[in-house]
Structure 1
């Protein structure tokens, strides 16, 4: 054992400059990463300042943009997604929006968030022609970018959980949509998932910052679609 310690000391003596420089670089990297995260969160959230409302107080808008999240194998919305859809339904029933754009993941043929969202809304009385589906909302940036570029949305009320809302509203606004937002807090009863998802927002804000600064195209762009135009024209 004593021989091993002696060997380690000799190795450190020979390589101490490299070790110290490596440790210093790691420390500096950690500080920069932490600072970058803080700056990203602050910049993203500043984009939503003054544009987050209660359900009762949110200004009218032509479109509610409901951001997708997990559905079951049969397409049944998870409690988090159902809570978002409930807000959108009430906004529609109350005349605060005239169409609902549901944007979610349909990357694989056996997983389909938008269809599940449509069924949920139609089952509760929202006319099918007032619900427009975006099958390529693979993340929040893509949903916001496609709402603007593919569906021609100019003004919208974004609906998601409250921990996600500042990033979602800020992305929409920085991508050219006059967006306000309403956040759900009823899903807080699922405390562990809420806590984990809230923590992930820090990293998500870094990604959102990089997406905006790079002005990347959505994963799938495609041609202009007229679903929102038709839904609004029909009254």
Structure 2
């Protein structure tokens, strides 16, 4: 077989691999764009595509040199980003705690930044002890960091992909999730959700749809009116006809928002699909919850203040991982088994004389 023929065969095999993974991703998206597996499949697809491109450009010296330059630039940018990330997270965490109430959820960006900053020092201390226990712990920590990084990357890719798909989802009704009132009035955060609902309805009106608005939220202990009623009044003040609004005024949690809203819609003869409006950091988890409840709905997100977004996004990541316990179980088993195996290997090596 000639060199050219061999190259073409290998390129064809690599291209077939790209097509297979792309087909799996297309099938998964058609099955349900809310599934977390879409993020994993997109990462695998990008890996295959990059591998194919590297293989192709390696065929000529000029292309290979250009690819090496691009690769060097990308590595430098990624390296600089990883070095700055802990500092940026710490700065954002401090700002978050100054502007918002102090809680574990609001401190997540600060705690994550500190953890990323302290981890190398902890690893150095463990490795310097030069014994099987600390060596195993060091490898276990590295494995845990790698697993957490991979799961977070899957979550990031999934949320970015899902946000693009959900914007175009059809809707016979738009359910707006409550977010608390301020002195009985719609808060700026809640107003952002309502404006996003209006924009979503306007976009769907151009394709001939006229979705119903379902402001959803019960009355808190310190609120003079139910969130659903306050949101309905806001919508009326912004030009929405009363007959296009169906108020849900009992819900106190996201699960109740979805369940009660859908029950109300179906009682009034309005079947899915629906669109759920919340904040951008919360939209993927709201969509996953709708999936578990068997609701035909996609979720879109309203903009969030930049300083608020990192901690909120990390909180959503933690919540989604807790809902995917099988992933955490497999990651935990990998961390423990790797740590134990390395500890045993180091102990066996130390026991060998000479």
Correspondence 1:102 to 2:102: no
Correspondence 1:114 to 2:228: yes
Q: Tell me: CA distance 1:206–1:116, structure 2 relative to 1, closer, same or farther (3 Å).
A: farther
Deviation at 1:208, TM superposition (A): 5.5
Residue 316 of structure 2 corresponds to 201
- The structure showing larger relative contact order (alpha-carbon pairs under 8 Å, at least 6 residues apart) is 1
Deviation at 1:114, TM superposition (A): 1.1
Deviation at 1:120, TM superposition (A): 1.1
Residue 160 of structure 1 corresponds to 278
- Checking the alignment, whether the CA contact within 8 Å between 2:175 and 2:274 is kept in structure 1 is yes
Residues paired across the two proteins, number: 180
Residue 181 of structure 2 corresponds to 71
Residue 60 of structure 1 corresponds to 170
Q: Tell me: CA distance 1:99–1:161, structure 2 relative to 1, closer, same or farther (3 Å).
A: same
1:161-210 alpha-carbon deviations (Å, 9 max, x no partner): 1110100111112212222232222x3xx333333322322343367669
Q: Tell me: CA distance 1:50–1:155, structure 2 relative to 1, closer, same or farther (3 Å).
A: farther
- Gap regions ≥5 residues in structure 2: 1-139, 326-354
Q: Residue 258 of structure 2: SS of its match in structure 1?
A: helix
Residue 243 of structure 2 corresponds to 129
CA–CA distance in 1 between the matches of 2:324 and 2:256?
13
Q: Tell me: CA distance 1:97–1:167, structure 2 relative to 1, closer, same or farther (3 Å).
A: farther
Q: Tell me: CA distance 1:61–1:136, structure 2 relative to 1, closer, same or farther (3 Å).
A: same
Within the candidate set 252, 257, 260, 1:146 is matched to 260
- Checking the alignment, whether the CA contact within 8 Å between 2:171 and 2:272 is kept in structure 1 is no
CA–CA distance in 1 between the matches of 2:250 and 2:183?
18
Once superposed, what is the RMSD of the aligned Cα atoms? Answer: 3.9
Q: Residue 135 of structure 1: SS of its match in structure 2?
A: coil
Q: Tell me: CA distance 1:206–1:132, structure 2 relative to 1, closer, same or farther (3 Å).
A: farther
CA–CA distance in 2 between the matches of 1:209 and 1:87?
29
Q: Residue 126 of structure 1: SS of its match in structure 2?
A: coil
Residue 202 of structure 2 corresponds to 93
CA–CA distance in 2 between the matches of 1:51 and 1:155?
16
Q: Tell me: CA distance 1:52–1:178, structure 2 relative to 1, closer, same or farther (3 Å).
A: farther
- Checking the alignment, whether the CA contact within 8 Å between 2:184 and 2:223 is kept in structure 1 is no
CA–CA distance in 2 between the matches of 1:50 and 1:170?
14
CA–CA distance in 1 between the matches of 2:318 and 2:252?
17
Q: Tell me: CA distance 1:119–1:184, structure 2 relative to 1, closer, same or farther (3 Å).
A: same
What TM-score, normalized by structure 2, do the two folds share? 0.42
- Checking the alignment, whether the CA contact within 8 Å between 1:155 and 1:178 is kept in structure 2 is yes
Q: Residue 179 of structure 2: SS of its match in structure 1?
A: coil
Q: Tell me: CA distance 1:42–1:171, structure 2 relative to 1, closer, same or farther (3 Å).
A: farther
Correspondence 1:170 to 2:280: no
Q: Tell me: CA distance 1:134–1:177, structure 2 relative to 1, closer, same or farther (3 Å).
A: same
Correspondence 1:184 to 2:295: no
Structure number having the greater helix percentage: 2
Residue 80 of structure 2 corresponds to none
- Checking the alignment, whether the CA contact within 8 Å between 1:58 and 1:182 is kept in structure 2 is no
Residue 191 of structure 2 corresponds to 82
Q: Residue 53 of structure 1: SS of its match in structure 2?
A: helix
